[in-house]
Every structure is written in structure tokens, then in C-alpha cells.
Amino acid sequence: MPVHIRAADPTDIPGVRDIARRTWAFAYRDLIPPGVQSDLVSRWYADEALRGRMERGVLLVAESGTPPALVGFVNLFRNNRVPGEVAVAAIYVLPEHERRGIGTALLREALAGMPEARRLVASVERGNAGGLAFYNSRGFEVVGETMDEVAEGVTLPTVEVARSLPWD
């Protein structure tokens, strides 16, 4: 089924939040307790937070089907302290739409609007096997590891990954 990628607008906010909630339940099921997931998604994907992401970075959505429904999104930010560096703040595709090239297409489209980008960086929880496999298969290399306190009492080992741009 064809996928259309476009800039997110305020009417997409509930759909983006729903994708975050559904993908987190899958990706972080053994890492972050459900109640903590719900709290974090409610805060990090609140209306104002998502409007801020649209204003300060690039937020694209992928839609598919008839009528079109959101199936994924990507959020990138320029690193103002490191010229040419762009960070992946979030990239999620609904589990039933994974492995169809949607995540890669979202990244490529977002980067097309950032011609100055020379390095793409991301953070992924060590226990998120799907996320690590996604980045590894796209040429990212591990550049560091940290401990990320995602909520009070919930600290996760996090892998920092990066790759040079442009895409091959």
C-alpha cells in the first residue's frame, strides 16, 4: 500500500500521540512500566509539546490507506552547538507497518529539507532491539553509551549512534 509523507500540522497531533502510545507499548514493553509509559507519552506528546516540536524542528508524518491514516512519524532537530549535526528526537512506525521502508523514507524526506546536514545522531535504549536493528541496518555506528533517567526511578542504558551524511 502506498505511503505519503508530509509535514505534520496541528490536526495531526492526536494521531502522532496515538502512534507514540501504541509504538511505546510495543517497543518498551519490557523496559518501561506501562504506567510510566502512559505518563511520559502524555507529557512528551502533549499538544503544546508537539506544537513546539513543529516550530523548532522538522516533524513529518507518514500516512497510508483509504481514507489516509497516520502510520508513522519522524522528528529531527538541528544541533545548534555542532554545525551540520542533526538529531533524531523520535521516529516511530506502527508495528503492523514496520519493515516496509517507511522509517527510512521518513528520515530521507526529513533530511531532504536539511541540505547542510553532515551527521545524523540518535539515542536508543539498549533494550530496544528493533530500534537498534533499524539504526544498524542504515549504517549508524555506536559512538557512546549513557544512562538515561526517563522518569523518577526508571533509568535505562542508552546507546548513542551516528552516521555520516549524505545517504549513500
How high is the pLDDT of residue 62? 97
Sheet holding 119-125, edge to edge: 3-7, 58-64, 69-78, 85-93, 119-125, 154-164, 141-151
Q: How does pLDDT run across 24-44, given as a tens digit for each residue?
A: 898 888 888 888 889 889 999
Going from the C-alpha of 74 to that of each of 5, 20, 59, 88, 157, the distances in angstroms are: 10, 11, 6, 8, 22
Residue 100 has pLDDT above 70, yes or no: yes
Task: Compute the C-alpha angle 165/166/168, nearest 5°.
Answer: 110
Supply the pLDDT for residue 74.
97
Residues 142/124, Cβ–Cβ less than 8 Å: no
Which residue type is seen at 91? Answer: I
Q: How far apart are CA 75 and CA 106, in angstroms?
A: 9
Residue range 1-7: mean pLDDT, rounded: 89
**pLDDT (mean) for 81-107:** 92
Mean pLDDT of the chain: 91
Distance CA 104, CA 108 (A): 6
Specify the pLDDT at position 19.
Answer: 95
| Band (154; pLDDT cuts 50, 70, 90) | confident
Predicted confidence (pLDDT) at residue 1 exceeds the cutoff of 70? no
Model confidence at 153, in pLDDT bands (50, 70, 90)? confident
Residue pair 68/58 in contact by the 8 Å Cβ criterion:
no
- In this predicted structure, what is the pLDDT of residue 107? 94
User: Integer distance in angstroms from the first to the last C-alpha of the chain?
Assistant: 26
* Domain regions of the chain by residue span: 3-118
> pLDDT tier at 168 (50, 70, 90 boundaries)?
low
CATH code of 3-118, in short, is: 3.40.630.30
> pTM for the complete prediction?
0.92
The per-residue pLDDT for 65 is: 84
Helices (H), ranges, the chain:
13-27, 34-44, 47-56, 102-112, 129-137
pLDDT above 90 (res 98): no
